[in-house]
Amino acid sequence: MYNEPKRETKVVRSGGLGLGSILTIVFVVLKLCGVIDWNWFWVLSPIIFSLGLAFLLIIIAVILAVIADSL
C-alpha cells in the first residue's frame, strides 16, 4: 500500500496593533494627560499617514492593473 506523507499545516495569524496604532495611542494618552501640547493633527498623524500610504498603494495598484490590461 502507498502511504502518503503527512502534511503539516501551519496556521499563521497576524493581528494586533501595528506601529502606527501604538504611536497613535501613545500620542493621544500623552495629549490627554497634558504631557505634550501638540496640535491634534500631529497627535493623529500616524493614522493619517497610514491611511494616506494605503490610499497611495491602492492608486498605484489600479494604475498598474490598467497598464497591464492595456498591453
The answer to whether residue 47 sits within a structural domain is: yes
Q: How many residues does the chain have?
A: 71
Residue 26 structural domain: 19-70
CA 52 to chain centre: 11
The answer to whether residue 40 sits within a structural domain is: yes
- Please state, rounded to an integer, the average pLDDT across all residues of the chain: 90
pLDDT, one tens digit per residue, over 20-65 is 999 999 999 999 999 999 999 999 999 999 999 999 999 999 999 9
Amino acid 29 reads V
The answer to whether residue 7 sits within a structural domain is: no
Q: Is the pTM of this model over 0.95?
A: no
pLDDT, one tens digit per residue, over 3-17 is 666 777 777 777 778
Are residues 28 and 42 in contact, defined by beta-carbon separation less than 8 angstroms?
Answer: no
Q: What is the pLDDT of residue 13?
A: 73
The answer to whether residue 57 sits within a structural domain is: yes
The answer to whether residue 4 sits within a structural domain is: no
What is the tally of structural domains in the chain?
1
